[in-house]
Chain A
Amino acid sequence: MIRKSLILALVLAFGALFAVQASGDTFTEKDVERWMEQYKKVAQEGRALWTSPELGTNGVACAQCHPNGANTHPETYPKFQKQLGKVVPIREMINWCIQNPLEGEPLKLDDPKMTAIEAYLNWERRGVKLEPGKH
């Protein structure tokens, strides 16, 4: 008797669990589109930052040296940077270029601008296979 009710409780519990999962699984094409739009909006903000002098103090923009985000290789990060002496996320290298060629102040690593820049760089590198650690 005790065992029976335990099994029943378990079944009910699993049922509840499945029910929750089922509703989580019901996203639609429309949701997918909306999420992609959200991503692209942020990537576009990244592109705007990429081509503007706003990140620095000397009027220079990232795009001047990195057209289409080329030569930033987001697919290789985190990786060892000889000059920094350790394995770093791309955000550290983004900050390095902000501080040096752009003579600017580094961004906080979770600054929405940082996210936007990374989103843009990944977009320009879409389809390129991951090459962790590659120099």
Chain B
Amino acid sequence: MIVNNPNRRGFLKTTGLVAATLPFTQVKLAWAGAHPDINIAYISDSHIQQIKGAKFVRNWDRGLIRAVAETNLLDPQPDFVVFGGDLAQLGKKSELDHGAEMMSKLRAPVKYVMGEHDFYLDMGRYWEKLFGPQWYSWDHKGVHFVVLNSILTYDEWVNKWPSDVERMNQMAGLDNPNGSPFMVGEAQRKWLEKDLSKVSKDTPVVVFSHSPLQKIFKNWNFWTEDAEQLQKMLGRFSNVNVIYGHVHQIQYNRIGNINFHSVMATAWPWPYPESYAQAESHLPVLTVPMNRADPFHERDATGWQLIDVHTGRPTLKYNLYNNENRIVGPNDKGVPEDRTYAKRTTPPQKHY
């Protein structure tokens, strides 16, 4: 249930200019005693891009700096912060270092997810040095958390390019017809099978991936090739959830028992797939899209989110800078819903 109660204690320190403008309140249910609070700040898709030497694209830097600063104002601090992938634009050491340096200002511990922009230059090697393994799991306050690297692809594609830089450039183009579909792959699926075999059926499970673990739009890799196999493995849990980045927009869905939620980017928003007239797409019908972005406001339709997972089913509070904030969480049936935000009726929600 989504409860928006103004009497609950403020989540953010009310000192400082930024905090005063942030409308989040911590959401707690009457029976919160039975389920401990779990709050996660989720920052994703910062695409830190080097221009030359010590110069980086200002716009993308500002997005991440702002998300980090605002996350640091949360009081109490979240249990942990997730970075949802695509920290860098072209996987360069300079970009990952610069991004990691900005992320190092966070007060809470950080869990990292691999994005394709971090990976395809050196196949994730430098990222691993900075942030650790590409897939892992842990238990926290009764919830089983899993991080997957869902942006792997066919070996044949990986090996066909004359250089690492060329491979990275090819994968970095979202609409590049010479790209290749994302997947978790067999080795990792085996690991996941084993990891999940130790978890009881009624333990809430939350999976963090970069790509959607569902098939939405192949042209832009809003897509995971082995999505069906993964859904089958996850489907045996009664309370299971996938939170993903990559799409730079709000999406949510329900397939079987699985709740799906996407997060926004700190760098820039993407059009919804239906705005490309030449290809078929399948935006989940549940999703009420974000308003169309106004390019005259640099941070419009970018931001970060606070996720409340205390029931296992996540409630995402999207911090939208130039629009009404949004809260998407389970309704009485556990299905993701945005109760307060208007259905697709206002002109800005009509994507074409």
Contacts and interface: CB of A to CB of B under 8 A. Distances in A.
Interface stretch (A11-19, A26-34, A60-68, A111-119): A60-68
B276 A67 contact: yes
A96 B296 CA distance: 9
Interface string B158-194: 0000000000000001111000000000000000000
B271 A70 contact: yes
A67 B271 contact: yes
Contact of B295 (A67, A100, A125, A126): A100
A135 interface: yes
A96 B298 CA distance: 13
A96 B80 CA distance: 40
A128 B277 contact: yes
A78 B39 CA distance: 48
B49 interface: yes
B304 interface: no
Nearest to A64: B268
Contact of A71 (B50, B173, B174, B275): B275
Given A68-B175, A68-B276, A59 B57 contact: yes
Nearest to A81: B296
Classify the secondary structure of A's interface with B. loop
A109 to B, nearest CB: 20
B257 interface: no
A67 B246 CA distance: 13
A58 B175 contact: no
Contacts of A51: 173, 176
Contacts of B296: 83
B51 interface: yes
Contacts of B295: 96-97, 100-101
Nearest to A127: B277
Contacts of B175: 63, 67-68
Given A51-B173, A58-B51, A67-B270, A101 B59 contact: yes
Contact of A60 (B49, B176, B220, B352): B49
Interface string B261-276: 0000000111100011
Interface in B287-343: 292, 295-296, 298
B58 interface: yes
Interface residues of A, number: 24
A40 interface: no
A70 B276 contact: yes
B121 to A, nearest CB: 16
Nearest to B348: A135
Contacts of B298: 100
A95 B149 CA distance: 39
A101 B152 CA distance: 30
Contact of B277 (A83, A97, A100, A125): A125
A62 B18 CA distance: 31
Contacts of B268: 64-65, 101
Contacts of B278: 68, 124, 126-127
Nearest to B217: A67
A66 B277 contact: no
A59 B347 contact: no
Contacts of B352: 73
Contacts of A60: 49, 57, 59
A71 B271 contact: yes
Contact of B57 (A58, A71, A128): A58
Interface in B213-228: 219-220
A114 to B, nearest CB: 18
14 contacts: A51-B173, A59-B57, A63-B173, A63-B174, A64-B268, A66-B271, A67-B219, A67-B220, A67-B276, A70-B271, A96-B295, A124-B277, A126-B277, A135-B347
Given A59-B50, A71-B275, A101-B59, 19 more contacts: A51-B173, A58-B51, A58-B57, A58-B59, A60-B59, A63-B175, A64-B174, A64-B268, A66-B271, A67-B175, A67-B219, A67-B270, A68-B219, A68-B220, A68-B278, A71-B271, A73-B352, A126-B278, A128-B277
